[in-house]
Structure 1
Amino acid sequence: MASTFTAFGLSPPFFALNSDKRVQVLTRSSIRCSATRDSTAAALSLNSVRVNDAVNGISSALAEESKRASLIDTGNGEVKKKKEEEVFHDGKLQPLWDDGYGTETVKDYLDYAKDIIKPDGGPVRWFTPTSCGPHLKDSPILLFLPGMDGLGLGLVLHHKSLGKVFDVRCMHIPTQDRTPFEDLVKWVEETVRAEHASSPKKPIYLVGDSFGGCLALAVAARNPKVDLVLILANPATSFDRSQLQPFLPSLETLPAELHITIPYLLGLIMGDPMKMAAVNIDSLLSPAQYFEQLAGNLVGLLPRLSGLADIIPKETLVWKLKLLKTGAAYANSRLHAVKAEVLILASGKDNMLPSRDEAWRLMSSLQNCKVRYFKDNGHTILLEDGVNLLTYIKCTCTYRRSSKRDYVMDFIPPSASEFKQTLQQNKLFRDYAGPVMLSTNEEGKIVRGLGGVPEEGPVLLVGYHMLMGLELVPLVEEFLSEKQIMVHGIAHPTLFSPHVESVNKEYSFFDNLRLYGALPVSAANFFKLFKTKSHVLLYPGGAREALHRKGEQYQLFWPDQPEFVRMAARFGATIVPFGVVGEDDIAELVLDYDDLMKIPIWGDHLRKENEKYEQFNVRAGSTGEVANQALYIPALLPKIPGRLYYLFGKPIHTKGKEEMLKDKDKAKELYLEIKSEVESSMSYLLKKREEDPYRSIVDRTVYRALQDPTNQIVPTFEL
């Protein structure tokens, strides 16, 4: 640890700042905050000495940190230099970037705590972890408000990922500090107002963990005109119903020799040791290997829990519980004044607070609040496995760098750890569907894989929307796996509205769509995607095609007007038409929209639901079947599956044809050509799949068993 961290206003060795510039920024912040204390002169003098010590030690610490960060494990035992451009390119994060999730764990949290808890006589202060940078240009500031421990280490699992897209600062409350709650609120508020005055058009993020959630809500209530985004992890506003509150009177009289039992009590109440120990374990391991590593991690973790006696000694624990009680009452009395955007992460196995019920209460009390529920996690959710904080910020569309979210410019591509988890979650479906990807190169030859699809954008993929969008997941995964290209799907606006929120507020398929680049259809979003040379996925048939009726599989329901051709030509985009077949081999449509509308009670319900969606009808004013945008969930009967087949046609270049395609007739001609290519691709696939010896899942399973079980590539028909 000594080589990784250098002091800055904290007991050395601990944290270093990322640059001399940030040393100056936080020096001013420290002076500003210290000036609110009674011992102003002493505090300023102490901070000045510490800053000088910090600057002297920063170079060596950052050199060691940079050396460590520049190495990457290739997964086959080889280690290579990791170039910065592999993470950042043209000021943007690249798909499958390394977010560092799992590289630090709760053991690191407890080890770092040994240094930071040493009494230094200093005041409450901000610090920036060395692993939190460098970040994207114009990144918003993120202020972390800690839980009952007060250390500011609660984001240790997330430092690297958050540090790429936020200017992260963590609040540290020394163990012996006894600042009242309202003074802590004013202290945070001072930083918030200073940052807002400096960058009035940028949001300020407050991540509040437990007690920190009360702080965040209190600051938001007092500053309704500041653009704040609150992310609350099991906020302690329900402390009046906490299991710890009855212990408060007895803790004050507890003999000192019995205090040694408190860390183990707190360890059981505050978090799930199994979830904490599983953070850095590869989910792709066999069950035997997984549990072997889990047991080893637990053996290393449990003895360290005794350190909680030093992190939260008896006197501090009693003070913190009183502070929690005051903070919860303060925040609850001002909920009506909170205007900020709020995202709550709530645990189902929180043994300290009734966090699930509290999340529902806050959602009904706050004006702009979203909830994500984790039924298997404990109180210290930010230190437990399965909760990558940045993932949930992204999938709930909570990340933005200005007053209004820009779906294109604010998009953060999926990281390597997110993609790995997604592949694991979708493994059964990939085995079930056995997708075959084919493409056509410039010479018109069909090849296996995506080699025929141009890598240089802008590229517009135009195709058939299969029933319920069955083709989406394998398509996006294949582009990321084979070409490391993010495909942005143009989606129905309803997917970005509260109407698709699941009742239990758990992570959903719609969250996954947003995480992987889907964005609402609009001319502005099209313009920005083409301008940034992106790969764009468009289904002209939209909801009518994806929610077709019985007997309508493989029929295109496209509008008459060439809506996308002239926009693509304006930016010289390459258009790639594609067809996909296999839905009839995966499931049978039993009840379609017409059938459901005939059911007395259900039909009325469906009609009322679609009235809510009318404001999102992107085909309003259109005529014909494409204007019928009724949304519903069909009844499907799964089949012993065949296979999904994709064929991407020969690229159609519009570069150099901008003037010609301004003519409506010429644009319509190209539009009809694209539509014809999509239909031809599907006709080809429907015919050729009859020749596939591995069309059935049974044949594919036997092939894998006899060949290489770990190899997911199964042959198909001859090309």
Structure 2
Amino acid sequence: MAVKTPLSRDSNPLSEEQALREHINRALATEPPSGLEEQLIYRFSKFWFRPELHNVHRLPDKPCLFIGNHALFGLDGFVILPVLLQEYGRFLRPMGDKFLFAQPRVAKTLIRRGATMGHPDVARALMAHDQDILVFPGGAHEAVKPSRERYQLQWKERLGFIRLAAEFGYTIVPFGLVGPDEFYEYLLDSEQIVKLLKQTGFWSDNMRPDAIPPLLRGVFGTPMPRPQASYLSFGEPLELPRPTQRAPGKKKLQAWRSIVAERIDSEIADMLLRREQSRHELSIFRRIANV
């Protein structure tokens, strides 16, 4: 029996392997978004989130694997992607959890915007075609982290992104992003909601804790994100050696991952300081809206 996958059609279900191949083909055929829609997204991001970029001179003039801290609800994409595309010509391909592609219409929109499913074969295909890739190793868990863990990496023991970069000799660009974690105020975090669901008997064993969103409040109590200024800084790239017949061992992969994490933490610390130093530059509206 064919297995229904995120890209399956009810009328003609695809096997898991077929769906993955179709997803890869669609991803490789995707061109950088342009036109009025893209301009509106870019203009809104520039006005509302006021992205401030630092150390852009560190960006290598070749395809890279961009690795950073994941923001609340994955809203970092609204800051990173438009400005890098419009101002620097870098079309980053963000990789997301497979559950984001569960509905065909949503999947089509995400792919059209450049997003792809976080699968090793998808990453290999993108690297083989010299694409800029954006990966948040913390995944969905980091995107719904409680407020006390803001700007803390949630990578656990994951080595996949390092292993794939080493396989292709891809350069890794670490970055730190400050701002999007405060786009919303927490009313209940995901841990509290999961606990409440378990206490009331609404929790099921097939539910994923990292897929339970927190209860949030935006600007003036609305669903609109607060106009929080954002600060993005690129760390020193990690140049991985050219691939050889012998794959690097676990200790080498862990050492490289630690280097990337340390550089991200350093950029986050710098941007938190930069934000504090520039608070006096905020308009009265932004000060009131972010209370």
Q: Normalised by the shorter chain, which TM-score bucket?
A: 0.7 to 0.9
Correspondence list, 1:274-353, <5 A: none
> Is the Cα–Cα contact under 8 Å of residues 597 and 603 in structure 1 kept in the other structure?
no
Normalising to structure 2: TM-score of the pair?
0.79
Shift of 1:582: 1.2
Q: In structure 2, give the amino acid aligned to 1:412.
A: T
| 2:127 counterpart SS class | helix
1:691 match: 277
Cα distance 1:573–1:479, how it changes in 2: closer, same or farther (>3 A)? same
The answer to whether the aligner puts 1:674 opposite 2:269 as a matched pair is: no
Q: In structure 1, give the amino acid aligned to 2:230.
A: L
Shift of 1:524: 0.9
Shift of 1:451: 3.6
Match of 2:136 among 539, 544, 547: 539
Shift of 1:683: 0.7
How far does the alpha carbon of each residue in 1:235-294 deviate from its partner, in whole angstroms, 9 at most, with x for none? xxxxxxxxxxxxxxxxxxxxxxxxxxxxxxxxxxxxxxxxxxxxxxxxxxxxxxxxxxxx
Match of 1:480 among 85, 109, 113: 85
Q: In structure 2, give the amino acid aligned to 1:551.
A: R
* Separation (CA, whole Å) in 1 of partners of 2:69 and 2:270: 14
Shift of 1:403: 11
* Separation (CA, whole Å) in 1 of partners of 2:29 and 2:252: 34
Shift of 1:514: 2.3
1:581 match: 178
2:11 match: 367
> Is the Cα–Cα contact under 8 Å of residues 694 and 700 in structure 1 kept in the other structure?
no
Shift of 1:367: 2.4
* Separation (CA, whole Å) in 2 of partners of 1:583 and 1:644: 7
Correspondence list, 1:191-230, <5 A: none
Shift of 1:475: 0.8
Shift of 1:572: 1.5
Q: Which has the larger radius of gyration?
A: 1
Q: In structure 2, give the amino acid aligned to 1:479.
A: L
Q: In structure 2, give the amino acid aligned to 1:664.
A: K
Q: In structure 2, give the amino acid aligned to 1:670.
A: W
Match of 1:645 among 206, 231, 235: 231
| 1:407 counterpart SS class | helix
* Separation (CA, whole Å) in 2 of partners of 1:516 and 1:467: 20
* Separation (CA, whole Å) in 1 of partners of 2:20 and 2:214: 39
> Is the Cα–Cα contact under 8 Å of residues 434 and 643 in structure 1 kept in the other structure?
yes
Shift of 1:655: 3.4
Cα distance 1:588–1:537, how it changes in 2: closer, same or farther (>3 A)? same
The answer to whether the aligner puts 1:412 opposite 2:30 as a matched pair is: yes
1:492 match: 97
Shift of 1:611: 2.1
| 1:460 counterpart SS class | strand
Cα distance 1:586–1:669, how it changes in 2: closer, same or farther (>3 A)? same
* Separation (CA, whole Å) in 2 of partners of 1:431 and 1:686: 20
* Separation (CA, whole Å) in 2 of partners of 1:699 and 1:438: 25
Shift of 1:554: 0.9
2:50 match: 434
Which consecutive segments of 4 or more residues in structure 1 shift more than 6 A? none
* Separation (CA, whole Å) in 2 of partners of 1:660 and 1:689: 45
How far does the alpha carbon of each residue in 1:148-200 deviate from its partner, in whole angstroms, 9 at most, with x for none? xxxxxxxxxxxxxxxxxxxxxxxxxxxxxxxxxxxxxxxxxxxxxxxxxxxxx
Match of 2:251 among 647, 654, 665: 665
> Is the Cα–Cα contact under 8 Å of residues 45 and 82 in structure 2 kept in the other structure?
no
Correspondence list, 1:84-103, <5 A: none
Shift of 1:594: 2.4
Correspondence list, 1:147-226, <5 A: none
| 1:630 counterpart SS class | helix
Shift of 1:525: 1.1
1:240 match: none
Cα distance 1:489–1:690, how it changes in 2: closer, same or farther (>3 A)? same
Q: In structure 2, give the amino acid aligned to 1:668.
A: Q
* Separation (CA, whole Å) in 1 of partners of 2:86 and 2:273: 28
Cα distance 1:599–1:656, how it changes in 2: closer, same or farther (>3 A)? closer
Structure 1 residue runs of 5 or longer lacking an equivalent are: 1-340, 343-365, 370-401, 440-449, 615-628, 702-719
> Is the Cα–Cα contact under 8 Å of residues 641 and 697 in structure 1 kept in the other structure?
no
* Separation (CA, whole Å) in 2 of partners of 1:549 and 1:460: 27
Q: In structure 2, give the amino acid aligned to 1:554.
A: Y
Shift of 1:519: 1.1
* Separation (CA, whole Å) in 1 of partners of 2:195 and 2:251: 43
How many pairs align? 269
* Separation (CA, whole Å) in 1 of partners of 2:72 and 2:181: 9
Normalising to structure 1: TM-score of the pair?
0.34
> Is the Cα–Cα contact under 8 Å of residues 72 and 181 in structure 2 kept in the other structure?
no
> Is the Cα–Cα contact under 8 Å of residues 42 and 86 in structure 2 kept in the other structure?
no
| 2:151 counterpart SS class | coil
* Separation (CA, whole Å) in 1 of partners of 2:199 and 2:108: 27
Match of 2:150 among 550, 553, 556: 553
How far does the alpha carbon of each residue in 1:370-412 deviate from its partner, in whole angstroms, 9 at most, with x for none? xxxxxxxxxxxxxxxxxxxxxxxxxxxxxxxx99514256432
Q: Which has the higher contact order (CA 8 A, sep 6+)?
A: 2
| 1:651 counterpart SS class | coil
How far does the alpha carbon of each residue in 1:431-452 deviate from its partner, in whole angstroms, 9 at most, with x for none? 221111222xxxxxxxxxx342
Q: In structure 2, give the amino acid aligned to 1:667.
A: L
Shift of 1:661: 6.6
* Separation (CA, whole Å) in 2 of partners of 1:694 and 1:641: 15
How far does the alpha carbon of each residue in 1:28-67 deviate from its partner, in whole angstroms, 9 at most, with x for none? xxxxxxxxxxxxxxxxxxxxxxxxxxxxxxxxxxxxxxxx
| 1:551 counterpart SS class | helix
> Is the Cα–Cα contact under 8 Å of residues 462 and 575 in structure 1 kept in the other structure?
yes
> Is the Cα–Cα contact under 8 Å of residues 585 and 641 in structure 1 kept in the other structure?
no
Match of 1:655 among 238, 241, 253: 241
Shift of 1:646: 0.7
> Is the Cα–Cα contact under 8 Å of residues 588 and 636 in structure 1 kept in the other structure?
yes
| 2:206 counterpart SS class | helix
> Is the Cα–Cα contact under 8 Å of residues 575 and 653 in structure 1 kept in the other structure?
yes
Cα distance 1:643–1:659, how it changes in 2: closer, same or farther (>3 A)? farther
1:311 match: none
Identity %: 24
* Separation (CA, whole Å) in 1 of partners of 2:198 and 2:119: 35
| 2:11 counterpart SS class | coil
